[in-house]
Amino acid sequence: MSEEVIGLDEAYSVKTPEDNKRLYAKWAATYDSSFVDAKQYRYPKAISECFDQVVTDDVVRVLDIGTGTGLTGMYLSRLRTGVVLDGMDISPEMLGQAKLKQRTDGSAVYRALYERDLTRDVPNENAPYEALISSGTFTHGHLGPQCLRNLLPLLANNGWLVVGVNNEHFEAKGFAGELESLVALGAITQPQILRIDVYEPGSVHHGDQARVIVTRAIN
């Protein structure tokens, strides 16, 4: 299959971390043009706006979960110019694209980028972070609700999670139940669940929404 025709059907048909690595290895170079621009995908922008609205201004050290080509970091760095951003993703090819993203002053969006399988325990020498942000990565065949537990140790006490989850995936995989368990364990505060549009009004996919989990880690 050529890179140009990769789209949501193929992206949603992956099942394992290895499938994800294969998919994004061939999609990385054209992801921004053939998908983000062509389909008017606004999820990274929308999640950054959400983050900017809910997270306190003193937060500086932020980790982008499932960085992809770095669009979430790019938008967040425009809204919060002082933010120090690291990123994690399973795909070295996607991270290669993220490395090229620049802030408005020409400096790199990300301080450090880590190749990590986020379905497993996640080592990171730069932890703890004051916040995690994520768009497009908690979705069909990518990251499920159990991965939230792997991420919590990366956060400082009271650290924020602003995590977008595909709507159908949220229901099908029981995110609400996992969040309830984490609250009961005393691992997170009672979450707020927001909704955002994933595509611009002119897009063929307009109307698709994502849930956004907003909560804080109790570490």
Ligand X SMILES: C[S@@+](CC[C@H](N)C(=O)[O-])C[C@H]1O[C@@H](n2cnc3c(N)ncnc32)[C@H](O)[C@@H]1O
Beta carbon of residue 110, minimum distance to ligand X (angstroms, whole number): 12
DSSP string covering 36-66: IIHHTB-HHHHHHHHHHHHS-TT--EEEEET
Considering the complex, state which of residue 103 and residue 158 has its C-beta at the smaller distance from ligand X: 103
Give the residue nearest to ligand X (CB).
68
Beta carbon of residue 202, minimum distance to ligand X (angstroms, whole number): 18
Integer Rg of the chain from CA: 16
Binding positions for ligand X, rule: CB under 6 A:
17, 20, 24, 43-44, 66, 68, 71-72, 89-91, 94, 116-119, 135-137, 142
40-46-48 Cα angle (round to 5): 130
Beta carbon of residue 72, minimum distance to ligand X (angstroms, whole number): 5
Considering the complex, state which of residue 68 and residue 191 has its C-beta at the smaller distance from ligand X: 68
176 Cβ neighbours under 8 A, 6+ residues apart: 170
User: How many angstroms separate the CA atoms of 76 and 139, rounded?
Assistant: 21
User: How many angstroms separate the CA atoms of 202 and 138, rounded?
Assistant: 24
Considering the complex, state which of residue 84 and residue 196 has its C-beta at the smaller distance from ligand X: 196
Beta carbon of residue 186, minimum distance to ligand X (angstroms, whole number): 27
Considering the complex, state which of residue 20 and residue 77 has its C-beta at the smaller distance from ligand X: 20
